[in-house]
Amino acid sequence: MIAQKVKQADDTSTEEKIKNAARIVFHKKGFAAARTRDIAEEAGINLALLNYYFRSKEKLFNLVMIDTLSNFFESVSEVINDPETTFEEKISLFASRYIDLLLTESDIPVFIFSEIRNNPEELLQKIDIRNAIFNSVFNRQFNEALIEGKIGQQDFFHFMMNFLALIVFPFIAKPLLKAVSDKNEDQFNKIVEERKKLVPLWIQAILTVNSKAK
Amino acid sequence: MIAQKVKQADDTSTEEKIKNAARIVFHKKGFAAARTRDIAEEAGINLALLNYYFRSKEKLFNLVMIDTLSNFFESVSEVINDPETTFEEKISLFASRYIDLLLTESDIPVFIFSEIRNNPEELLQKIDIRNAIFNSVFNRQFNEALIEGKIGQQDFFHFMMNFLALIVFPFIAKPLLKAVSDKNEDQFNKIVEERKKLVPLWIQAILTVNSKAK
DNA sequence: TTAATAATTAATCAAATGATTAAATATATT
DNA sequence: AATATATTTAATCATTTGATTAATTATTAA
């Protein structure tokens, strides 16, 4: 009876528990450094169950990776493909949503970039962010702004790199930046929080620059 | 006789060969995914020699890490502590020097950030970039420019994050960016090369923004 | 040249780790 | 309740991998 209640309480199925644990451990340590025993322990289950449900470490990893990438890009591609918002609004919403996402999932950037390093071709075909970005409403609006002379002559690829850089870099460099600036977790998060407002300001400043090579 | 000539030709000592190989393999795969056998093969030596010269994988890794970090930061701290150059000049020189460095050592950013993730406290005490940055001539000149009203009210920490982000991020995200933009190695490098001129322009634009929270 | 030392190799060890198995327990079906 | 099926566990396996050893070769010193 009590056992039942407890089981009801921590609701999730074994399969889900393992997947969640795998997500945490893989995100934190990467594929190579993560041991299946770490994942089993994190999930509070017997090691054999991992293979019972997912066959192998690699299969489990692939699930986590696909899950991570699609969740991650889905959430932001929504914003840049919203036909209702203006270009300027998208900049603010994108920065704000992206930073919020990273504040709760701060391991993801290093995880993605370090795993892609080990396996670029296989991982990259799992996702189609190509279209999501380069055929986005956001890109179209950028081009319109260019033609209307509202922003300086510049390359969309550079612009996107800059935008992403200003948003994502603090999370990638977080341990280093925390250490060199002697800030604790809360102070650091507060600073990053400020960037939800600041990044759009800086991006607007960058957009005024006429930087097209002639 | 011939054997001697050959030996003279690939000059480096066994110890040096191992260290160079370790550098390459660790930078590319990270500590956990790098096998001592990979390093031995890359160096063209017998596996046992690795332990003969360096005792353990971990000791060898620590050497490589210290070497990487100190070389890396030394090269840039020179620029930001040069008393002869102006603030504006430092921005250009820093961007240019840093990007050149990364063009030849493009694995380093992901290597550093992913290893720090696995071991923040130990690794970070190995270097003293704290002083190099926050007591730099560059920082002093930034403050002077602030007081003289030459740049908008803003935080040096944000500014440095932005500066580093615009320089380093393309190298971190390179495989992803190459894939989504469908660019080859040469095209990508050419674009990054452009940034030696562009990043200073963008940074100057950012510096005009008045972004101090009130 | 000879002896001593250093460098190198092939073989092997020991621990870590992903995976499997067979038995035990829980759950569902009849 | 009885049977069948699914889930879970402890024990074990097999491979990988960092490290060592003992023998061999090369180099240096006497």
CB-based contact A195:A91 (threshold 8 Å): no
pLDDT tens-digit profile, chain B (214 residues): 222 323 333 468 999 999 999 999 999 999 999 999 999 999 999 999 999 999 999 999 999 999 998 888 888 889 999 999 999 999 999 999 999 999 999 999 999 999 998 876 777 776 677 777 788 999 999 999 999 999 999 999 999 999 999 999 999 999 999 988 889 999 999 999 999 999 999 999 999 999 875 5
* Residue A141 or A125, more confident: A141
Question: Could you tell me the CA-to-CA distances from B141 to A185, A199, A213 in Å, in that order?
Answer: 29, 23, 30
Measured between CB atoms, does A103 come within 8 Å of chain B?
no
Question: Does residue B69 contact residue B126 with C-beta atoms inside 8 Å?
Answer: yes
Q: Which residues of B touch A112 (CB under 8 A)?
A: 176
Q: Is the CB of B56 under 7 A from strand D?
A: yes
| Helix, strand, or coil (residue A183) | coil
Which nucleotide is nearest, taking the CA of residue A36 and each C1'?
Answer: C18
Q: How many angstroms separate the CA atoms of B108 and B102, rounded?
A: 8
Tokens of A90: 């998208």
Can you list the pairs that B104-109 forms with residues at least 24 positions away whose Cβ atoms lie under 8 Å?
B105/B27, B105/B72, B106/B171, B106/B174, B107/A117, B107/B27, B107/B28, B108/B27, B108/B68, B108/B72, B109/B168, B109/B171, B109/B172
Residue B165 has its nearest CB partner, among A116, A129, A165, at A165
Q: How open is the CA angle A128-A133-A139, to the nearest 5 degrees?
A: 155
Joined tokens for residue A14: 């074994």
The helix or strand, by DSSP H or E, that contains position A165, with its residue range, turns out to be helix A156-172
For residues B108 and B102, the answer to whether their CB atoms sit within 8 Å is: yes
pTM of the model: 0.92
Of B30, B114, B169, the CB nearest to A168: B169
The CA distance from B170 to B173, in Å, is: 5
A182 sits in the region (left: phi over 0; alpha: psi -120 to 50; else beta) called left
**Which whole number is the average pLDDT over A94-123?**
91
Question: What pLDDT, on the 0 to 100 scale, is given for residue B11?
Answer: 62
Instruction: Please state, in angstroms and as integers, the Cα–Cα distance from residue B155 to each residue in B146, B160, B213, following that order.
Output: 10, 9, 9
The torsion of the CA quartet B119, B108, B77, B159, rounded to 10 degrees, works out to: -80
Choice between A24 and A120, residue whose per-residue pLDDT is larger: A24
Hunting for tokens 């050419």 — which residue is that?
B190
Q: Please name the residue whose C-alpha is nearest to the C1' of nucleotide C6.
A: B52
